[in-house]
Amino acid sequence: MSKRDFYEVLGLSKGASERDIKKAYKRLAMKYHPDRTKGDKTLEERFKEVKEAYEVLSDPQKKEAYDHYGHAGVDPNRGGFGGGGAQDFGDIFGDVFGDIFGGGRAGGGGGRRQPQRGSDLRYNMELTLEQAVKGVKREIKVPTLVHCEQCNGTGAKKGSKPKTCGTCHGQGQVQMRQGFFAVQQTCPTCKGRGTIISDPCHKCHGEGRYERSKTLSVSIPAGVDTGDRIRLSGEGEAGEHGAPAGDLYVQVHVKEHPIFQRDGNNLYCEVPISFTLAALGGEIEVPTLDGRVNLKVPTETQTGRMFRMRGKGVKSVRSGATGDLICKVIVETPVNLNETQKQLLREFEESCGGSASKKHKPKAEGFFDGVKKFFDDLTS
């Protein structure tokens, strides 16, 4: 057995997580595996040392004993684990390559593959802005795999049961030896389950589950937005041979609204007003998701001015805080004028001092002063 500290062997500090231990093991095992080191005895010993350290630190009971008592706590003469010799090299394929490609041994221990939890599913749901803001209850139809009720998910015909696989004797894996190496592989007969079904269920054909569309009622909470997900636990695909089902995730997408734009909990809209109303002031009706409300427009309002209506936005699905409605007024230029109207506008312009006058044009003075300075700087 190695006398070096197992954490040091894997390049870790004491207290490293299970994930860090496994990650370090994969990296070093790939580096020092005999297939890569081409008979280098020093690196071969390093490989054994890495494997030995991992076998202890990946097992919670052995790790606890090692953390308290060091090497003595896992001494094989005291009931601990056996040292890794040349005959154990094949196990590396199950621990490293199995995690990458989906095979390997369940839990890093015995060879039998445990029934897999069902896959998660996603359902894309499109909502109007009103539905997203106020909440809605919708029925959805989802094609999925469900547990076979006729065989209770076992895959075996009612009255029969799965039998132990004769190839692997229930281990789920078989070992192939070739000279110096031993490679452990998934049993080709039972596909790693350890059992075979000689008399399969007629409804699910031995799979323990079958395809079916199911209808679900989904309650969408008020305040959701595009990108939010609602998880329905256990409503995904049924697991293999009685294993737990996966989850169903309802992905929300909110359609564009003809009037409002949403930014977080606030709503925005543009409100067109006449230049007469903008100049003289007055009241107008503006829309909200709860109905119409009056907005007071002060005199001499310029286009682009924002008016905030507090509490008229969206109630947050997370914090419960309600946003605001922000109205941006757009002053419209009159179109389709007749000659009388045009003449009245000319007279109005003259009454204001003509086009050169800046008295009644708050933005013009600053703009033209800036233009003059710009050209002066160019010629200076």
Which pTM value belongs to this model? 0.58
Fold: same for 121-161+201-254 and 257-333: yes
For residue 327, the model assigns a pLDDT of: 96
Look at residues 151, 160, 159 and name the one whose alpha carbon lies nearest to residue 205. 151
Domain boundaries, the chain: 6-89, 121-161+201-254, 257-333, 337-380
Can you give the pLDDT at residue 90?
Answer: 36
CATH label, 6-89, candidates 1.20.810.10, 1.10.287.110, 1.10.443.10, 3.40.228.10: 1.10.287.110
The pLDDT tens digits along the chain (380 residues) read 446 888 888 888 887 888 888 888 888 888 887 767 677 778 888 888 888 888 888 888 888 878 777 777 676 554 444 333 333 333 433 343 333 333 443 344 445 667 788 899 999 999 999 999 999 999 999 999 999 988 888 888 888 888 888 888 888 888 777 655 677 888 888 888 888 888 899 899 888 899 999 999 999 999 999 999 999 999 999 988 778 899 999 999 999 999 999 999 999 999 999 989 999 999 999 999 989 999 999 999 999 999 999 999 999 988 889 999 999 999 999 999 999 999 999 998 888 876 655 666 767 666 666 766 666 777 76
What's residue 76's pLDDT?
59
The CATH number of 121-161+201-254 is which of 2.60.40.740, 3.30.9.10, 3.30.420.40, 2.60.260.20? 2.60.260.20
Q: What is the CATH number of domain 257-333?
A: 2.60.260.20
